[in-house]
Amino acid sequence: MSTRTGPTNAELQELIHGLKKQSAVHKVSLWKRVATDLEKPTRRRRVVNLSRINRFTEDGETIVIPGKVLGAGDLQRKLRIAAYQFSTDAKEKILASGSTIITLEELAKESPKGKKIRIIG
């Protein structure tokens, strides 16, 4: 049986380490949960369609997807969306709806306490 080593992508490892550090410094469990979800194998990470995001959010919210956003469905709300990855279709539809895309690092720096941020997925 092989030993689980975690992600081998250097950028992802750095992101996970940074989120865990942010969680410890500010005593916020949100960033630790996102980091833990990103440590999972690619097959087990969250994958969320735009239709699901549209269904479970309200205008003006900031949401985090610790995985990948796919372009199935339409987005009819103006949101701030942070995720590890976005499909090409998802990026186009998000920007066309007037929403903004932000990286997880930028969001963690902007809102270290994790206030008014929801995890979707």
Task: Give the start-to-end residue ranges of the domains of the chain.
Answer: 10-119
Among 65, 83, 89, 66, CA closest to 75:
89
Instruction: Specify the pTM.
Output: 0.90
- With 80 as the cut, is the pLDDT of residue 114 above it? yes
Query: Could you tell me the end-to-end alpha-carbon distance of the chain, in angstroms, rounded to an integer?
Result: 31
Q: Percentage of the chain with pLDDT > 70?
A: 97
Residue 78's contacts (CB-CB under 8 Å, 6 or more residues apart) are 59, 60, 97, 98, 99
Q: Domain 10-119 carries which CATH code?
A: 3.100.10.10
Q: Between the CA of residue 3 and those of 40, 52, 112, what are the distances in Å?
A: 14, 35, 33
Residue 27's contacts (CB-CB under 8 Å, 6 or more residues apart) are none
- With 90 as the cut, is the pLDDT of residue 9 above it? no
- The pLDDT tens digits for 73-94 are 999 999 999 999 999 999 999 9
| 8 A C-beta contact, residue 94 and residue 72 | no
